[in-house]
Amino acid sequence: MTPSIRNKLISSILLAAVISGCNSSDNPPSDEAIAHSYSVLPYVQNPTENEITVTWFSELDEPGTVTIEDIGAFISEPVLAESLSYGDSEVTYIHSEENYSEVHSDAVEGEAPAVSYKHSVRISGLSPSTNYEYKVEQQGVEDFSSTLKSAPTVGSRETIKFIAMSDMETEPESTEKTVRWTASALAIGGDKLGTDPDTYTRQYPVDQTIGFHQNLIYAESQSPDFWVIAGDLVEKGGRQLDWDEFWRHSAGEWGALATSTPIFPALGNHENYWHPDDTGYNTLASMLSYDKWSTYWDLPTNDATNARYEKRYYRVDYGPVTLITLDSSNGNDDEQSEDTNLFIDGEASSVPDFNPGSEQWEWAQQALSEAQSMGQIIFVQFHHSAFGTGVHSLPSGDAGIAENEDTQSGMPMRVYQNLFEQYGVTAVLSGHDELLEYVSINGVSYWDVGFAGDGLRGPGYPPTTDYVPFDLLPLEAQETHWSAHGDAPEVWEGAKLVSGGKHYGFLEVEVIPSGTDDYEVIMTPRYVFPLTDDTGVATGEFEQRQYDNVVTILVER
């Protein structure tokens, strides 16, 4: 089967699922009609007890109406989304033979897709913790229906479930592109955090597009209240094609989780990366990436003095849960040990510092203090894992990975540990190392959930270096450390994988009232397991499984 035929088949199957699940028409429109109706399907954001935002993108400069049962109708004011434009290299890719995912296959030869109009309405008058059906109508566009849920009353004793993931790094090139899949050295008598050298060049049995899609199918089946993404949503934050690919999965032809489940995202290093006229990390890339980011998200304000700091860090209160999102993109440019990205000029790029004394630090301390005083169950997310064993857990510096330094280290984020202890943070959710691992330090749980849909790395960064920075972890972190790489070794029957190994997945977090005042927090790492035949070839079927490192914490109030 050729890539073109294969992807048409996949697209038609996934699109049929989206239509049947979300569109209310008795006679669903054709695949082509839906593909041209919305650039991004309607998706929900920023829920409070009484309000929520519905946003969508279309090619038409015509107002749309969102109708909520028992509430009323709300009319959009379309705005041309000028920042969501395409560079020349993107146009070339769309019309190339390498466009295996057939993104924008309907674009006129040699031309870019039309820039979309943004529609966004703030729905008001909702009752707390209530499910509603909503319908979006726009002249010349197919009607769209889905569901939304308002947030519970802040501090209410309700069960909350959310999912957390990171590092899907979507791009059209994810189709037909697999990633290196290293195995633990434990099976050959080595250390569990070592890597079997025979797997240095081994590739995962399914590509990134299929892996991420199956991950979202599993995530949606868990019916989460909201969806946390700890950075690196896209491969290149300044490349529109990569954002288009994210929405194809999340609110488009391949999936629709975001049409009913609010996303709370954090910026990763890839959301500060790439500009068509100046690729890599630079001021132009940071500015364009932020403009795209800001266009897509409606998030709570942080009242920053710099308008371009908005949506980079923010606080959400959702029933008994508080989620505090920080921007770990850039630290102190004058001191490498306090900087997570040596390539970003924070002042020129309007990327905030996170260190003590900075505006973001002072904001975080106040947000943590207020949440603690309210008796909330506090979670924090940011992109750069502070306590890990991957390539980005090396000391910050420009000597290079071979010399055990990294220009994009997560270690500077350790500066927050005492603050998290002081204010009773339950768990910190991060990514960047593209691992699934866990440590606990003085009552604070740290998860790297960077296994959503891109790399499936092992510790260290073999074969560039065989050093794993386990010894750089605090003693308690060493004692509590768990990883999918080292603690879920692969089990084989000949060439057929039976169990174990690292796979695409997410962390499920449940916050459950316990007794009169306390809460039980259950954190379960879940993953999709690709079934293979006796020769080791993927069959296209998956099983939904979980790792055995289920962490349960009693939060006493």
pLDDT of residue 11 exceeding 90: no
- State pLDDT tens for residues 286-339: 999 999 999 999 999 999 999 999 999 999 999 999 999 999 999 999 999 999
The pLDDT > 70 percentage for the chain reads: 94
Burial of 132 (0-12, 13-18, 19+ CB in 10 A): middle
Tell me how far apart the alpha carbons of residues 407 and 335 are, in angstroms, rounded to a whole number.
12
Residue type, 438: Y
The pLDDT score that the predictor gives to residue 7 is 44
CA angle 71, 68, 118 (to 5 degrees): 125
Tell me how far apart the alpha carbons of residues 475 and 421 are, in angstroms, rounded to a whole number.
16
Tell me how far apart the alpha carbons of residues 456 and 504 are, in angstroms, rounded to a whole number.
8
- State pLDDT tens for residues 88-137: 999 999 999 999 999 999 999 999 999 999 999 999 999 999 999 999 99
| Number of C-beta neighbours around residue 5 at 10 A | 9
Cβ pair 339, 333 in contact under 8 A: yes
* Six-digit token string for 138: 């726009």
Tell me how far apart the alpha carbons of residues 487 and 13 are, in angstroms, rounded to a whole number.
36
- State pLDDT tens for residues 371-422: 999 999 999 999 999 999 999 999 999 999 999 999 999 999 999 999 999 9
- State pLDDT tens for residues 222-242: 999 999 999 999 999 999 999
Q: What proportions of the chain, in percent to the nearest 5, are helix, strand and coil?
A: 25, 30, 45
pLDDT of residue 455 exceeding 50: yes
The pLDDT score that the predictor gives to residue 33 is 40
Among candidate residues 209, 211, 220, 204, the one with its CA nearest the CA of residue 162: 220
pLDDT of residue 14 exceeding 80: no
For the chain, list the domains and their CATH numbers.
3-81+116-149 (2.60.40.10), 160-555 (3.60.21.10)
Burial of 168 (0-12, 13-18, 19+ CB in 10 A): buried
pLDDT of residue 20 exceeding 90: no
Burial of 548 (0-12, 13-18, 19+ CB in 10 A): exposed
Among candidate residues 231, 232, 225, 233, the one with its CA nearest the CA of residue 257: 225
Residue 27's pLDDT band, with cuts at 50, 70 and 90, is very low
End-to-end CA, the chain: 59
- State pLDDT tens for residues 274-293: 999 999 999 999 999 999 99
Tell me what the pLDDT averaged over the chain comes to: 93
- State pLDDT tens for residues 164-185: 999 999 999 999 999 999 999 9
Residue 463's pLDDT band, with cuts at 50, 70 and 90, is confident
The pLDDT score that the predictor gives to residue 26 is 36
The pLDDT score that the predictor gives to residue 140 is 87
The pLDDT score that the predictor gives to residue 184 is 96
